[in-house]
């Protein structure tokens, strides 16, 4: 049996860029190591989730890890909360949240509290509490954003938002949408009443008033989701797994699956991340773990910025780091490289385009693949979905069981 490394270049896929003479960032990049890997191995196109679906990073990573999001995904709340660094455990109910501004009558005057993060870290801390055995955890995000996690036995996400989603409307009472949501709605309303009192008198809000910013006196909640109780990765796949990532949402997913998680020093989840130390840390883990997923976020960040040059440059640096890493891994390691979805610079958002994929395993079949990019990938043998990636790498690593007699 061989060990496996899956390198996920987040938002890797691209479309033609004018500034790169009509090339994708990947096509334009000097990438000798990626090209070498695909020549030694197999290539093709990978469709995240299903054709035409614009995948999020959460659903796509679940799928790459062999967990079909159609069965296991329960809404963005828990994954957004993880993304802000909150721990999320199975059974927790999590929300996306905004710090908002209301007037004396509880009518929302600004759903985003001036888009200002001033003091929100202190405000969030002051909102961690326990009511009736239910623990509440709040973490601030960028600008006005935040997340809330509720933890207790028997919580339900069958409840409505408190966010009226419009200014000029009063904050809504949370209502159950089915009987199982009754307790959760009730305790949450009591929590929001308590939170309102704390926010109103909070020093951070006095400071916001002084500096002319709208007060952040309401936590507006939306998109409740119950964190799924997923089968542990080791049980699901019979492998010891690890996740290496610079961003908390991806390590959070690993944590939810009971995998070892690592955010290497110098890994920032941005364009200035230290790709070499990240990939070397991942290479090191392949000595102890059967399966290691590494997420590199920089490609997605550049895509969202619409910066094709930055995306190309990031790929060149990642390629160099892959070259260094290859000198430090067991020659029998099965290596796969793909994206979790495309983030075309021209779109500044995720698209449903397929992304190139490569698999390299000593002694396995090879194909006509010569270059690792969106166009050349069609010379390769594979047309797959993200959910297939795990089966393919397991098979290459002699870890799959026979289907049938
Ligand atoms: Zn992504
Ligand atoms: Zn993205």
The distance in angstroms from the start CA to the end CA of the chain is: 21
Domains along the chain with CATH numbers:
4-73+230-396 (3.40.720.10), 80-225 (no CATH)
E-only strand ranges, 128-278: 129-131, 134-140, 145-151, 218-226, 241-244, 260-262
CA pair distance 261, 248, nearest whole angstrom: 10
CA angle, 6 as apex, 372 and 71 as ends, to 5°?
110
CA of 115 to the centre of ligand 1 (A): 24
> How far is the centre of ligand 2, averaged over its atoms, from the C-alpha of 12 (Å)?
10
Tell how far the Cα of 342 is from the centroid of ligand 2, in angstroms. Answer: 9
- Give residue 302 CA to ligand 2 midpoint distance, Å: 9
Q: Which of 53, 19, 61, 10 is nearest to 303 (CA)?
A: 10
Q: Per residue of the chain (405 residues), what is the pLDDT tens digit? A: 999 999 999 999 999 999 999 999 999 999 999 999 999 999 999 999 999 999 999 999 999 999 999 998 878 889 889 888 899 999 999 999 999 999 999 999 999 999 999 999 999 999 999 999 999 999 999 899 999 999 999 999 999 999 999 999 999 999 999 999 999 999 999 999 999 999 999 999 999 999 999 999 999 999 999 998 899 999 999 999 999 998 888 998 999 999 999 998 888 878 888 999 999 999 999 999 999 999 999 999 999 999 999 999 999 999 999 999 999 999 999 999 999 999 999 999 999 999 999 999 999 999 999 999 999 999 999 999 999 999 999 999 999 999 999
On the CB side of 70, CA atoms within 13 Å amount to 7
Q: Which residues face 291 on adjacent strands?
A: 4, 241
Distances (CA, A) of 45 to 139, 213, 340, 354: 38, 49, 12, 6
Name the pTM for this structure. 0.88
- Say which ligand is closest to the CA of 250: 1
Task: Return the structure tokens found at 3.
Answer: 């060990």
CA of 173 to the centre of ligand 2 (A): 32
Residue with tokens 């166009």: 375
Residues, beta carbon < 5 Å, ion ligand 2: 300
Closest ligand, as measured to the CA of 56? 1
Contact 285, 242 (CB under 8 A): yes
Closest CA to 117 of 135, 143, 94: 143
| Number of neighbouring beta carbons within 10 Å of residue 280 | 18
Ligand located closest to 253 CA: 1
What is the 8-class DSSP label of residue 365?
-
d(CA 215, CA 168): 16
Query: Ligand nearest 343 Cα, by number?
Result: 2
Measured distance CA(10)–CA(337) in Å, rounded: 11
């Amino acid at each position: 049996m061989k060990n496996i490394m899956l390198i996920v270049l987040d938002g890797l896929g691209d479309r033609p860029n004018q500034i790169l003479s009509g090339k994708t960032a990947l096509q334009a990049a000097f990438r000798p190591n990626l090209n070498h890997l695909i020549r030694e191995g197999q290539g093709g196109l990978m469709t995240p989730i299903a054709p035409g679906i614009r995948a999020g990073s959460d659903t796509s990573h679940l799928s790459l890890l062999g967990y079909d999001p159609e069965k296991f995904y329960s809404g963005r709340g828990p994954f957004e909360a993880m993304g802000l660094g909150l721990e999320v455990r199975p059974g927790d109910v999590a929300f996306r949240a905004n710090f908002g501004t209301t007037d004396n009558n509880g009518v929302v005057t600004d759903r985003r509290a001036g888009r200002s993060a001033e003091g929100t870290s202190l405000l969030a801390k002051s909102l961690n509490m326990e009511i009736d055995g239910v623990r509440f955890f709040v973490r601030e995000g960028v600008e006005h954003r935040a997340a809330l996690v509720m933890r207790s036995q028997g919580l339900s996400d069958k409840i409505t938002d408190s966010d009226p989603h419009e200014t000029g409307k009063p904050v809504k009472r949370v209502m159950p949408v089915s009987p199982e949501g009754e307790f959760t709605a009730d305790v949450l309303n009591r929590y929001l009443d308590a939170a309102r009192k704390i926010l109103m008198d909070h020093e951070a809000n006095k400071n916001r008033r002084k500096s002319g910013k709208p007060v952040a006196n309401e936590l507006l909640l939306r998109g409740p989701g119950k964190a799924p109780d997923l089968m542990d990765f080791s049980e699901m796949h019979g492998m010891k797994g690890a996740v290496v990532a610079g961003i908390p949402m991806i390590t959070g997913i690993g944590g939810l699956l009971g995998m070892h998680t690592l955010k290497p020093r110098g890994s920032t989840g941005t364009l200035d991340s230290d790709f070499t130390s990240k990939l070397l840390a991942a290479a090191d883990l392949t000595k102890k773990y059967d399966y290691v997923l590494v997420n590199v976020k920089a490609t997605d960040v550049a895509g969202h910025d619409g910066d094709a040059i930055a995306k190309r440059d990031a790929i060149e640096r990642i390629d160099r780091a892959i070259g260094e890493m290859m000198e430090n891994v067991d020659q029998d390691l099965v290596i796969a490289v793909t994206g979790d979805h495309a983030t075309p610079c021209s779109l500044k958002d995720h698209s449903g385009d397929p992304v190139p994929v490569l698999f390299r395993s000593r002694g396995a079949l090879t194909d006509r693949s010569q270059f690792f990019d969106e166009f050349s990938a069609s010379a390769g043998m594979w047309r797959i979905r993200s959910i297939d990636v795990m089966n393919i790498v397991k098979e290459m690593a002699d870890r799959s069981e026979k289907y049938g007699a």
